[in-house]
Amino acid sequence: ADAAAAYRPLARAHEELRGGSDDGARRARDAARAVDDDLASALRADVVATEAVDEVKELATCLVLRLLGSIHKDDVVAVISIVEKWVRGPEALLKHVAVEDLHKAILAPIAQLAALLAGGLQKRKVDADATPLAAYANGISSESQVPSEDASAENVEQPQHAGMSRSVSTSGLAQLGSSLLAESSEVPGASPRAGRAAKYSLSSTKYVNAPAPADDGRNDPFRDALRDKLRSVLTGAKGCVNKGGGFAQEVLDRLTFVLANERGFFWDASYAGSCVDALALDAALCCRLASKLKNLITTPQRKTEPKGPEATRRLTFFVNSLLMDLPPPPPLDAAVSLTTLTPFYSEDVILSAGDLRRKNADGVTTLLYLQTLYKADWHAFLERRGLSETRAHAECFSPAHVLETRLWASFRAQTLARTVEGMMQNEAALRLLARLERVNDARRARRRRGPRASRRYAAACDESPTHPHITLDDLLKLKFGYVVTCQIYGRQRKQADPKADDIELLLTRFPLLRVAYIDEQRVNRSGASAFYSVLVKGDGKRGVAEVYRVRLPGNAIIGEGKPENQNHAIVFTRGETLQTIDMNQDGFFEEALKTRNLTQEFRTPRPAGAPPVTIVGFREHIFTGSVSSLANYMALQELSFVTLGQRVLADPLRMRLHYGHPDIFDKLWFATRGGVSKASKGINLSEDIFAGYTALIRGGAVTMKEYAQVGKGRDVGMQQIYKFEAKLSQGNAEQCLARDVSRVAHRLDFPRLLSYYFGGIGHYINSALTVLTIQVATYLTLLLAVYGAESIGHRLVVPLGALQVVLAGLGLLNTLPLLATLAVERGLLTAARDVAQVFASGGPLYFVFHIQTRAHYFMQTLLAGGATYRATGRGFVTTHNAFDEQYRFFASSHLYLGVELAAALALMGAHTAAGQYAGRTWSLWLACGAFLLAPFWFNPLGFSWPHVAEDFATWQRWISFGTTGGTASDSWDVWYKEETAPLRRLSHRSKCVVSLKAVLYVVLAKGLFDFSGKAAARRLVGFAYAALALGALQLCVYLVDRIAHRLPYALHRLVQMFLGVASLAVVIGEVVAKPASLKFAISAYYLLAALAVLGTLWGGEGPSSFGYRGSTGVFSHLVPALTRNLARCHDLAIGYCYFAFFLPLAAVRVVDVVQTWLLFHNALSEGVVVDDILKQARQSQESSGAKDQAEELQKLRRQVEMQQQSIAALLAGAPERAAEFASGYPPRAELANVSSDPAVNGSAPPRRSSTSDFLPSSAGPSPSAPSGHDGFTFSSPETLPPRPYSNL
């Protein structure tokens, strides 16, 4: 419109000045052409708008042609052809069309017409007696003959117009046209071109020769509405065309003919009805076209952009990837075939309704969590299923919607269903590509360029009736396959596990999906079993059909479970390439379109002497990064290593090995060189990397491409991440012992060896050296301060604390590559905000914490072995972890070291005289704080008062002396044995190395307090008296706890309080009276620590520990008991210090709010309010679930009442009546009298039976419960035996 407003004055000025000033006319013409060129450039630049206009034209042309029918086809096609010629040159379009009026005159009526078609076409019922549209076409083709060039007026039969609804119609125009045609034919010298031009004029006989059917007069509102809307479209089109000669006049004439033809759509009701009926016969397609046309016209551009951040990210990456260096894809039948393999054990397949309804400790269900995290997706799901938001909680689990609800939730969790759904997008992508490439579904002639004999053989095969011809489905099976290796699927089927049903549902949902499993069958009575590797597929009837069964020489799982699970299913893969995908990954349709490009990387030409490409890696997107700050850290860590690190290792360092599961292997190459998965127990714990070692040692090349990506889920909880890092650390420690690493180290040149070191096991070696350096620096400075060796001669050593701060600032340079990558992908401001958010939410604590995780398990595996696979569990972490559970996880690896460093730094601060304490120790305090606080800072609701109080009670029960047996989660003793087992497995040489720490403790204790001299002896005696008094008080506390059940509660609490105050008074009095006692206590603590270290390493655990027999001497009994008690006292001291720190913070509500906000800040930025989860949980409990909860409470109340009545009846000596109550049903007498009960009839409130109803009326002593009564029964075996009424 703006171009037209600028163009027309210039065009008029050019016409006015053409006869006058040539310069003015030329300037006006040049200016008009400049406007035209700008418009053409703008149209060419805006590809999206140009394609949208083309799509609108195609859809509108299709619908208008089908609606108007064959009578108006020639005129409509001619008009569209002329307009297309104008569009090719914008100057002609601006000259002949009023562009500024197009929207109001044409587009708006077309949108209304499309909306009318989309809304009413499917409701139209086609009349069986109506005249078919083909009859009109046949009549026109047989009777409507175009007049020849020598036609005369006498040869034209004039139709009769009796019964016409319009008295003055186009018959007069037709007669006028006929006479003009006759006159032109009689004119001497008339050219044949004039006759040909006349057949497109008013005399076209197709308007007059067709028989005139009578109007049936049916009342058809839908047809009439369509005619009115279409008439508005054509009338508006006439108004937009500028009158003039040439093609503009022809457009106007043809539009006039269409509107005025009495046998056409607008005046012949029967013909119009037939046209509409013809559309109604194909209503589904026409409604889709009409809806799309309406949306293209009426939807503003701002609404066409994706609203969700995930859709925006995917589309942005896909569009950007098309500008990268992609190899040209071959035709579909020549593409490299691919098979995807996914190992699966017993993880979640599809979340069940029980899983979605299950509440965590905070009362939040999984479905509520997903609804809050994916609000927009949930609203879209409700809209698709036709559910109201108010009743969605109850209706989504109805039989009609429960399956779709389960799938919706499973596609947003780390489940097998999500992985299968994503990987099977390859099938959908291949079907689309086949349709675009016009792959015929019938006979496929595979004729390729080659020798003449090959072409003759292909032609002979095509003509042979016995040669199999490939259909599209067969071609898809050849080009793509997906095998899920469900290792225990056979066992799950035998046990009727719901996961087996879910797997069968996936087989039914995806016909190309295959499942491989190991089947164990018993062959004789002695217990011998035969093992088979079985492949099954869906039979199309919600069942499975067996495809292959291969007998194995024995159980295939003899090494590491995951690689063995992959190896037994390799035989069922048919592709030339193999992709091993883990079950926590996802696929995208737009990325599946580029799978042919990825597999073509194996066939691209390479320079002479270059190794063949054997592994092709590509990017991973962590889709769990928006859950919490921890998940965001994992996502950034993966981006830094998987994308940035692997990119540089692949090019230019040429040292990328296999990492992760999205990589694609050249299966034929690896099958002849040992396979893709090595599975030796322990040594191949990290099976991924050994495929890269195989490729490197045997002359293969590994490349990395960034134009494709898959989704990947990561661990989102602190404990999950901890187990993941521990598994990787143990795997890398085992790699250090593998011969593959030895071969790589001996054969690589030095630059590539450095690249391998820093990109592989060197990362874990550096972590171990970093933690060792922290300990050495801390104890070295402490010993110098304690022994007064901080000076050289009489001059103190001047520490450079300020320089250390400056050098530490250089460590921030490590974040620059990540910042640059985020700036390119997300923008500079967003990247800076994300990096600042990482620092503000405690990111440094997280990364320093896991340096120690890697160091601890790396060194432990090197010294003691014991590498094992750790199942991290890929669920949602929305609950609070108890303190005792956190302590069990992190005490040995982090908390002990953190306490040790904190004590050493505090002692150094008390003894140092060198100054600049903060500058020298801030980095050490940062590491110490990370080891001590990170597990609790990243624990949801870790500073909430109710949770802290509950954690304290739970921790006391767990660590108490009276709790023994069970598992590590039940008893401190069991946990202690498990944690110290690796130390006792050490060799004597390794034990000697670890014993150096005991020597360090003794040296430090000697420096803290000098034990020699008479003064030291007197202090020792005084300290011993205080220690004995404190021990006596603690013994009293123990005795009081033992007889607590015999004391009144108030007296028990009073005695406990008195003993606690007395113990505190003894400690404070001793420290105040003799300040050196504190120093002596610390020194003694270090001596006891040295004793505990030596006792743990060399003392053993007695004859019955861990199932082996040892010495039965006093030493083997006394030392383990002493060591165990010292360790318990140490853990008690640490625990009380923690709670002394947590309780004041929990009392201040601000700390809890700040922690929650920072922990879930990444989710908050995505529009998720964490408080809404708890709020909606309470609302669901109070409103939507009120009815269910009322029923549940009523049931529980009735059950409690029955139990009370059963106990009372038992105490009253009526065991039969008690048994009836215990069964959960009232006695028969009550059932018989229920109709006569006034409470039932509503005349009186119901009376609840009480215990007194069944007790004797005498006031004597209460009788005891009968012992050994034969009639006494319980409905539940867990019910306790009856107790005397006096103890109730």
How does DSSP assign 10-32, residue by residue?
Answer: HHHHHHHTSSS-HHHHHHHHHHH
pLDDT confidence of residue 902: 94
Peptide bond into 652 cis (omega under 30): yes
Whether residue 781 contacts residue 603, with contact meaning beta carbons closer than 8 Å, is answered with no
Query: Amino acid identity of 7?
Result: Y
Helices 221-240, 269-281: axis angle to 10 degrees equals 100
Q: How far apart are CA 1195 and CA 1182, in angstroms?
A: 18
Whether residue 955 contacts residue 884, with contact meaning beta carbons closer than 8 Å, is answered with yes
The three-class DSSP label of residue 559 is: coil
Q: How many CB atoms lie within 10 A of CB 207?
A: 22
pTM > 0.95: yes or no: no
pLDDT in tens, 238-265: 888 877 666 888 888 888 888 888 888 8
pLDDT confidence of residue 873: 62
Whether residue 485 contacts residue 570, with contact meaning beta carbons closer than 8 Å, is answered with no
Q: How far apart are CA 167 and CA 401, in angstroms?
A: 61
Buried b or exposed e, range 325-363, using 16+ CB within 10 angstroms: ebbebeebbebbbbbbbbbbeebbbbbbeebbeeebeee
**Parallel, antiparallel, or unpaired for β 513-522 and 529-538?**
antiparallel
Query: Amino acid identity of 10?
Result: L
Q: How many CB atoms lie within 10 A of CB 73?
A: 14
pLDDT confidence of residue 645: 84
Q: Detail the DSSP E strand segments found in 501-612.
A: 513-522, 529-538, 544-552, 577-580, 585-586
pLDDT confidence of residue 193: 37
Residue 305's Cβ-side half-sphere holds a number of Cα atoms within 13 Å equal to: 6
What's the distance, CA 1075 to chain centroid? 59
pLDDT confidence of residue 388: 85
pLDDT confidence of residue 3: 47
Helices 945-959, 883-890: axis angle to 10 degrees equals 60
Q: How far apart are CA 1280 and CA 392, in angstroms?
A: 42
Task: State which residues of the chain have pLDDT below 70.
Answer: 1-48, 88-94, 99-100, 127-218, 244-246, 361-362, 440-469, 660, 793-794, 796-811, 872-878, 1010-1016, 1100-1116, 1161-1288
pLDDT confidence of residue 647: 86
pLDDT confidence of residue 681: 84
Burial of 1162 (0-12, 13-18, 19+ CB in 10 A): buried
Whether residue 418 contacts residue 370, with contact meaning beta carbons closer than 8 Å, is answered with no
From residue 121, give the alpha-carbon distance in Å to each of 96, 114, 287.
35, 10, 7
pLDDT confidence of residue 1202: 67
From residue 788, give the alpha-carbon distance in Å to each of 792, 795, 797, 1037, 1085.
10, 12, 11, 42, 21
